[in-house]
Amino acid sequence: MKDIRREIADDNEVDDVLHRKRNKIISLLKTKFDFQNAHLRSTANNNDGLLEKCKNYDAPDQAKALGIYPYFREIEAASGSQVVIEGKKVVTVSTNNYLGLTQDPRVVEAAKKALDLFGAGCTGSRFLNGTLSLHKRLETELADFLGREDSIVMSTGFQANQGTISCLLGRKDVAFSDRENHASIYEGCAISPGKTMRYNHNDMEHLEYYLKKYRDVPGKLIITDTIFSMSGDIANLPAIVKLAKDYGAVVLVDEAHGLGVMGDGGRGVASYYSLEKEIDLYMGTFSKSLGSIGGFISSNKKVTEYIRHKASAFIFTAALPPASVAGVLAALDIMISEPWRQEKLQENTSYVKKGFFDMGFQVNNNVVPIVPIKVGDEALTLFMNQLLFEDGVFAGVAVSPVVPSQQAMIRTSFMSNHSREDLDYVLNSFKKFGVELGIIPR
Ligand SMILES: Cc1ncc(COP(=O)(O)O)c(C=O)c1O
């Protein structure tokens, strides 16, 4: 990284005209790293044997040598908005701990108690020998909170989507899935015997086009994230619900990023639009606002009972460990009894969005605490991310194939316990490098 910065500094063609400087930086990086073909993911597809693609896969090493590799940074300690990486304290804006509950002493204490009572794990599947009284309590509390008949607690949110979709979608059924939906939804659809039509992101005309096309199929399932994890967009649930009614489809919402963030008491986007009753299946995770790990599906009893006995991703895997379940139970209680957290999260979100917007970055005008900063070029995105990190800001990146290669972004996300000082620090750092790299005006 130092070498690249020196080369940029030494290059007298890199003058003050920002767009020229930016292009120069991009081309310097590109002479050293084949972004076009690498995408940090193997594209090899030869006939030399199964493991040949691994031997030829050197994109991560190249990126590491250049000092712009953004993944698997080791967090050595964490406390609220601050984490320690490589021995250095940095502000994290790469978090889903929206309500700041991961390290809340009450959550940690509850987890410790469960550890003492039940031990480190369940060593078995919920189905046969891994269901604890704690799992059942959490299922009941979630169902009560969401006004649903029943819930199923699963080991991850990924499995909740994958298991539910793949067991519900039969051979003659059709799923209609937003193109920006989470990978777990893609996987659930891919392993089911049914057909999946992927409609363009938040494009209701395209969704209707497919619904019309399959109007005679009795089994139709519309699946959407309510808040999209990369763009921070909100799904157009009122239109989806209307189309579902018009064409006789069932609706599954993934509220991974909606729970705790939007709606009455943090009940999610369906609640925000007062559409809870129109939603057939509500999926959520514990790995974001509830600060832990795990996922769930809520629906009516007949549906949950079917999924409970049919979903492979639920039946053939070990149950969520006791400490995690107890932590989630405590976090849920806190979320319900301390609505100020959701309010503070929204206040922080508005503050940073205004800050980014005033500097000249494009941001979504909504209350979602996921704020992608569009940089465009992949090389420049990785470079800027590294500069931010060295300056004390830990952010995520989204490059190809997660987003198209010229739409790379730095993904920031915010929490209720970011202080004003943290937010100003982050904004200043983005301003400094945004200007230096010619992404925003001076
Ligand atoms: C929209 C969405 N759905 C599902 C998941 C999977 O959840 P988990 O990480 O709890 O497995 C995620 C996680 O990033 C997500 O963003």
Among the listed residues 24, 182, 288, 418, the single catalytic one is 288
One-letter amino acid for residue 220 of the chain: K
Q: What's the gap in Å between 194 CA and the centre of ligand 1?
A: 22
| pLDDT class of 10 with cuts at 50, 70, 90 | low
| pLDDT class of 3 with cuts at 50, 70, 90 | low
C-alpha–C-alpha distance, residues 151 and 301, integer Å: 8
The response to whether residue 182 sits with its C-beta less than 6 Å from ligand 1 reads yes
For 390, the token pair is: 């060295």
Which of 51-55, 281-285, 418-422 is predicted with the least confidence, judged by mean pLDDT?
A: 51-55
Among the listed residues 21, 24, 220, 257, the single catalytic one is 257
C-alpha–C-alpha distance, residues 260 and 268, integer Å: 7
Report which of 135, 171, 130, 131 is spatially closest to residue 153, judged by C-alpha positions: 135
pLDDT of residue 188 exceeding 60, the answer is: yes
The response to whether residue 229 sits with its C-beta less than 6 Å from ligand 1 reads yes
Q: What's the gap in Å between 141 CA and the centre of ligand 1?
A: 21
| pLDDT class of 237 with cuts at 50, 70, 90 | very high
The response to whether residue 327 sits with its C-beta less than 6 Å from ligand 1 reads no
The owner of tokens 């190809």 is 400
pLDDT of residue 38 exceeding 80, the answer is: no
Q: What is the pLDDT of residues 202-217, one digit of tens each?
A: 999 999 999 999 999 9
- Please provide residue 35's backbone torsions phi and psi, each rounded to the nearest 5 degrees: -60, -40
pLDDT of residue 386 exceeding 90, the answer is: yes
Which of 6-15, 231-240, 241-250, 317-326 is predicted with the least confidence, judged by mean pLDDT?
A: 6-15
C-alpha–C-alpha distance, residues 61 and 403, integer Å: 22
C-alpha–C-alpha distance, residues 404 and 85, integer Å: 29
Q: Which helix (H) or strand (E) holds 375?
A: strand 370-376
Residue 107 pairs in a beta bridge with: none
The response to whether residue 158 sits with its C-beta less than 6 Å from ligand 1 reads yes
pLDDT of residue 61 exceeding 90, the answer is: no
365: left (phi over 0), alpha (psi -120 to 50) or beta: beta
Q: What is the pLDDT of residues 139-159, one digit of tens each?
A: 999 999 999 999 999 999 999
Do residues 231 and 372 make contact, with C-beta atoms less than 8 angstroms apart? yes
User: For a substitution probing ligand 1, which of 287, 290, 328, 411 has the most ligand atoms within 8 Å of its CB?
Assistant: 287
Q: What's the gap in Å between 326 CA and the centre of ligand 1?
A: 20
Cα–Cα distances in angstroms (integers) from residue 83 to residues 274, 371, 398, in the given order: 37, 20, 21
CA 372 to chain centre: 12
Q: For the chain, which residues make up each domain, given as ranges? A: 2-98+340-436, 105-337
Which of 61-65, 67-71, 118-122, 170-174 is predicted with the least confidence, judged by mean pLDDT?
A: 61-65
Residues 6+ apart with CB under 8 A from 67: 1, 2, 3, 4, 386
Q: What is the pLDDT of residues 278-328, one digit of tens each?
A: 999 999 999 999 999 999 999 999 999 999 999 999 999 999 999 999 999
User: For a substitution probing ligand 1, which of 285, 286, 290, 328 has the most ligand atoms within 8 Å of its CB?
Assistant: 285
The response to whether residue 163 sits with its C-beta less than 6 Å from ligand 1 reads no
Q: What is the pLDDT of residues 100-110, one digit of tens each?
A: 999 999 999 99
Average pLDDT over residues 8-15: 58
Q: Do 2-98+340-436 and 105-337 fold alike per CATH?
A: no
- Please provide residue 295's backbone torsions phi and psi, each rounded to the nearest 5 degrees: -150, 170
Task: Report pLDDT for 405.
Answer: 77
Q: Which protein residue's CA is at the shortest distance from atom 10 of ligand 1? A: 157
Q: Which protein residue's CA is at the shortest distance from atom 7 of ligand 1? A: 157
The response to whether residue 173 sits with its C-beta less than 6 Å from ligand 1 reads no
Clarify whether 288 is annotated catalytic.
yes
One-letter amino acid for residue 248 of the chain: G
Task: Report pLDDT for 121.
Answer: 97
For 47, the token pair is: 């006939």
C-alpha–C-alpha distance, residues 120 and 402, integer Å: 35
| pLDDT class of 37 with cuts at 50, 70, 90 | low
Task: Report pLDDT for 53.
Answer: 84
Task: Report pLDDT for 17.
Answer: 57
The response to whether residue 295 sits with its C-beta less than 6 Å from ligand 1 reads yes
For residue 288, the ligand 1 atom closest to its alpha carbon is 10
Task: Report pLDDT for 403.
Answer: 84
Do residues 233 and 226 make contact, with C-beta atoms less than 8 angstroms apart? no
Per the prediction, the chain carries an average pLDDT of 93
pLDDT of residue 186 exceeding 60, the answer is: yes
The owner of tokens 């690498």 is 38
Domain 2-98+340-436: state its class.
Answer: alpha beta
Percent of the chain scoring above 90 in pLDDT: 81
Q: What's the gap in Å between 283 CA and the centre of ligand 1?
A: 10
Q: What is the pLDDT of residues 21-33, one digit of tens each?
A: 677 777 777 776 6
Task: Report pLDDT for 35.
Answer: 65
Task: Give the SS3 label for residue 288.
Answer: coil
Q: What is the pLDDT of residues 68-95, one digit of tens each?
A: 999 999 999 999 999 999 999 999 999 9
Task: Report pLDDT for 417.
Answer: 96
For residue 229, the ligand 1 atom closest to its alpha carbon is 16
Q: How many CB atoms lie within 10 A of CB 134?
A: 24
Q: What's the gap in Å between 116 CA and the centre of ligand 1?
A: 29
Task: Report pLDDT for 60.
Answer: 86
Task: Give the per-residue SS3 of 391-405.
Answer: CCEECEEECCCCCCH
Task: Report pLDDT for 25.
Answer: 75
Task: Report pLDDT for 34.
Answer: 65
Q: Which protein residue's CA is at the shortest distance from atom 16 of ligand 1? A: 229
**How many degrees, rounded to 5, is the angle at CA 402 between CA 63 and CA 202?**
160
One-letter amino acid for residue 236 of the chain: N
C-alpha–C-alpha distance, residues 82 and 378, integer Å: 27
The response to whether residue 324 sits with its C-beta less than 6 Å from ligand 1 reads no
| pLDDT class of 234 with cuts at 50, 70, 90 | very high
The response to whether residue 341 sits with its C-beta less than 6 Å from ligand 1 reads no
For residue 286, the ligand 1 atom closest to its alpha carbon is 10
Query: DSSP secondary-structure letter at 348?
Result: H
Which own/partner pairs from 196-201 qualify as long-range (CB within 8 Å, at least 24 positions apart)? 196/169, 201/228, 201/231, 201/233
| pLDDT class of 66 with cuts at 50, 70, 90 | confident
Q: Is pLDDT larger for residue 240 or for residue 46? A: 240
Fold (topology level) of 105-337: Aspartate Aminotransferase; domain 2 (3.40.640)
C-alpha–C-alpha distance, residues 68 and 355, integer Å: 26
For residue 227, the ligand 1 atom closest to its alpha carbon is 1
One-letter amino acid for residue 403 of the chain: V
